[in-house]
Amino acid sequence: MIRVQGLEKSYGDLAVLRGVDLDVAPGSIVALLGSNGAGKTTVLKILATLLKADAGTATIGGFDVATRPADVRETISLTGQFAAVDENLSGRENLVLVARLRHLKDAVAVADDLLARFDLTDAGARRVATYSGGMRRRLDIAMSLIGDPPVIFLDEPTTGLDPQSRQEVWTTVEALAERGTTILLTTQYLDEAERLADRIAILHGGRIIADGTLAELKRLFPPATVEYVEKQPTLEEIFLAIIGEAA
């Protein structure tokens, strides 16, 4: 569904992506891990047609992001790292706005349904400027689901959410994947990747240095030295070990 090959991107002298290869199968959830500044957001922006790559190709549902951006935009939806909501409108108005821009018939019904699903019905008529960070994030994600795009990008979807809201977002993401939506998400939380992702890709030094299921990544991890208690490596340990080796 998503195929990225040899993607490169520099900001001035700073080479952020130096040949990223990544495949995401239809209906799967892939988590992109990486330290701050690794270039996760840059990858998503290129895939969402907001940035142009310097080299390499990326296709989504067969459409090249560089040559068929309009078709790509019909296919995808992006929840950016920072909530992109209209502060001056109410939550409901934000949802109706996006539904209208996606040319849906029943914009108001779609909005009310999403308000209910994201526990925002009571706040629906209030201006978003009065929302808490978590409410804003939930609204932001809700706005991205409008129109049921087959591919969804989530850039750190649960950063700043309380544990209960995180659970709710996870449940939503899992439900989307069950319905066949392809999801590429970035996260700083390794437990989140462990819980949600079918595959995990680690972006480091401008390349994907590891890509596989959790079990495959565990096999990459040096066999546990004999300890008094046998212990499975956590994803966090795997992550740090892989980054350490590459550095």
Pairwise CA distance, residues 84 & 184, whole Å:
18
Residues binding other proteins: number (CB under 8 A): 29
User: Is residue 24 within a helix (H) or strand (E), and if so which, with residue range?
Assistant: strand 14-24
DSSP 187-224: ES-HHHHHHH-SEEEEEETTEEEEEE-HHHHHHHSPPP
Residue 95 or 192: the one with the smaller Cβ distance to ligand ATP is 192
Residue with the shortest CB distance to ligand ATP? 41
Nearer to ligand ATP, 41 or 59 (CB): 41
110 binds, among other proteins, ligand ATP, Mg ion, none (CB under 5 to 8 A by kind): none
Restricted to residues 41-100, the positions that interact with other proteins (CB under 8 A) are 48-52, 70, 73-74, 76-78, 80, 82-89, 93, 97-98, 100
| Inter-CA distances, 152 with 11, 99, 141, 186, Å | 25, 16, 10, 12
Return d(Cα 211, Cα 144) in angstroms, integer.
26
Of 141, 149, 146, the C-alpha closest to 112 is: 146
Q: Which residues bind Mg ion (CB under 5 A)?
A: 40-41, 81
To ligand ATP, the closest distance from the beta carbon of 37 in angstroms equals 4
Asked whether the beta carbons of 161 and 169 are under 8 A apart, the reply is yes
Residue ranges in 210-239 that form contacts with other proteins under rule CB under 8 A: none
To which residue do tokens 């520099």 refer?
10
Q: Which does 11 bind (CB under 5 to 8 A by kind): Mg ion, ligand ATP, other proteins, none?
A: ligand ATP
Binding site for ligand ATP (CB under 6 A): 11, 14, 16, 34, 36-42, 81
Contact residues: other proteins, CB under 8 A: 48-52, 70, 73-74, 76-78, 80, 82-89, 93, 97-98, 100-103, 127, 143
